[in-house]
């Protein structure tokens, strides 16, 4: 379309992915930046910076410049985007050209959030910057025919937010966005272990617990995991045994919030699209949808078929990159 380098960026709270039409995913790293607080200089970005979380010496802090899907720190987000654009261009064998980029924004972004993302991308070297709503990108990436007059329902459970949308004819017909995503389940687990065992665990440990023995379904095969943390009474390292049903208990409130967002969106659906929804079902995207039993649990709660996208972690990035081909059919794209 533009004759220059074109990329789609999924600027997520947890991970940043870059998709190029010809090469597929060319960048996939955590959205973390490590800063030297004495000089305010960036010392590491992405994977290297994530490895520093909770382990850095006093003068180095590892931060996530995006919180709940929106920019929490503008300057650091610019630095992150600069790193991403340079690295993605190098991986594609391009060093000089300024790319045209499509970036997805959470459906709940304000015009101020959107402006901040566009400015940060231009500041980072992008030429043209288009913004597409995250659920639309997720639906395109999951292969749904968003430009046709049928109801495409997508539930995108990211790290910091969950977006539920009904898309038809290229536009969002109904949508709910909540600032609860997979990362909140980690927080729930941290709080639970602290309250029940007086043991402090870090975010990476909580995430590992969620991935290994976290279930959306109450009825599941019980599993146990040995967990290491710091005993808050003695200050010493301690190992505890955590059961999967305890984890289910810890995350139940957050799951119910996600369910509420899905129900509220379906309730807002125009009556004409209801039949489509029952026939075509709901598509799950985003890393949070990989929680074990998510499809079955959600389907049992809303009485509609639920399917997991092929590449849930990559749907938004793929859709963002592919959107370049039919920006003219998407009325809500910001330029």
> 87 among the known binding-site residues?
no
Residue 317 interacting with ligand ATP (CB under 6 A):
no
**Residue closer to ligand ATP (CB basis): 8 or 69:** 69
Q: From CA 136, how far away is CA 156, in angstroms rounded?
A: 10
The CA-CA-CA angle for residues 56, 61, 65, to 5°, reads 135
d(CA 260, CA 269): 14
Does residue 155 bind ligand ATP (CB under 6 A)? no
Residue 160 marked in a binding site:
yes
The Cβ-side half-sphere exposure at 216, using a 13 Å CA radius, reads 21
- Give residues with Cβ within 8 angstroms of 279, minimum separation 6: none
- Choose, by CB under 6 A, the member of 99, 288, 319, 321 that binds ligand ATP: 288
* Token reading at 58: 């006093």
Count of residues that bind ligand ATP according to CB under 6 A:
24
135 binds ligand ATP (CB under 6 A): no
In the bound complex, what is the minimum distance in angstroms from residue 153's beta carbon to ligand ATP? 17
Q: Segment contacting ligand ATP (CB under 6 A): 154-162, 216-224, 300-308, 327-335?
A: 154-162
CA atoms within 13 A on the CB side of 11: 37
- Residue 159 in contact with ligand ATP, rule: CB under 6 A: yes
Residue labelled with tokens 């599941």: 220
281 is in an annotated binding site: no
Return the residue matching tokens 């329902």: 153
Gap between the terminal Cα atoms of the chain: 15
Question: Cα–Cα distances in Å, from 286 out to 14, 66, 326, 335?
Answer: 11, 16, 22, 25
**Helix H or strand E segment including 60:** strand 60-63
Site string for ligand ATP, 226-265 (x = CB under 6 A): ----------------------------------------
Q: Any binding-site annotation on 165? A: no
Site string for ligand ATP, 197-216 (x = CB under 6 A): ----------x--xx--x--
100 vs 105 by CB, closer to ligand ATP = 105
Nearest distance from C-beta of residue 34 to ligand ATP, angstroms: 18
Is 116 a binder of ligand ATP (CB under 6 A)? no
Q: Distance (Å, rounded) from C-alpha 70 to C-alpha 73?
A: 9
Q: Annotation-wise, does 310 bind a ligand?
A: no
207 is in an annotated binding site: yes
Instruction: Please tell me whether residue 217 binds ligand ATP under the rule CB under 6 A.
Output: no
Strand 129-133 relative to strand 199-200, pairing:
unpaired
In 73-193, DSSP assigns E strands to 100-105, 129-133, 152-157, 162-168, 171-178
Nearer to ligand ATP, 65 or 287 (CB): 287
User: What are the residues binding ligand ATP (CB under 6 A)?
Assistant: 10, 12-15, 69, 158-161, 181-183, 207, 210-211, 214, 286-288, 290-291, 313, 316
């Amino acid at each position: 379309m533009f004759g220059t380098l074109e990329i789609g960026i999924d600027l997520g709270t947890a991970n940043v992915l870059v998709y190029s039409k010809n090469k597929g995913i060319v960048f996939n790293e955590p959205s973390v930046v490590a800063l030297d607080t004495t000089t305010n200089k960036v010392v590491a970005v992405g994977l290297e910076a994530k490895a520093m979380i909770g382990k850095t010496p006093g003068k180095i802090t590892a931060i996530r410049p995006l919180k709940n899907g929106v920019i929490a720190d503008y300057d650091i987000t610019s630095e992150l985007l600069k790193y991403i654009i340079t690295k993605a261009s190098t991986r594609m064998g391009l060093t000089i050209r300024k790319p045209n980029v499509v970036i997805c924004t959470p459906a709940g972004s304000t015009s101020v959030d959107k402006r901040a993302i566009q400015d940060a991308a231009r500041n980072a070297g992008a030429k043209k910057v288009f913004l597409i709503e995250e659920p639309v990108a997720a639906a395109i990436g999951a292969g749904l025919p968003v430009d046709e007059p049928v109801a495409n329902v997508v539930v995108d459970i990211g790290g910091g937010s969950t977006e539920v949308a009904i898309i038809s004819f290229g536009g969002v017909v109904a949508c709910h966005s909540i600032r609860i995503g997979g990362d909140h389940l980690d927080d729930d687990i941290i709080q639970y272990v602290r309250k029940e065992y007086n043991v402090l665990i870090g975010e990476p440990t909580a995430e590992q617990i969620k991935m290994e023995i976290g279930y959306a379904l109450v009825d599941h095969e019980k599993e146990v995991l040995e967990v290491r943390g710091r005993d808050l009474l003695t200050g010493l390292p301690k190992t505890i045994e955590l059961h999967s049903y305890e984890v289910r208990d810890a995350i139940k409130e957050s799951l119910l919030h996600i369910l509420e967002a899905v129900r509220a969106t379906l309730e807002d659906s125009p009556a004409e699209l209801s039949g489509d929804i029952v026939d075509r079902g709901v598509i799950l995207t985003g890393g949070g949808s990989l929680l074990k039993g998510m499809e079955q649990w959600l389907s049992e709660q809303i009485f509609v078929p639920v399917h997991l996208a092929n590449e849930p972690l990559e749907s938004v990035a793929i859709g963002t990159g592919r959107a370049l081909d039919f920006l003219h059919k998407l009325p809500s794209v910001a330029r």
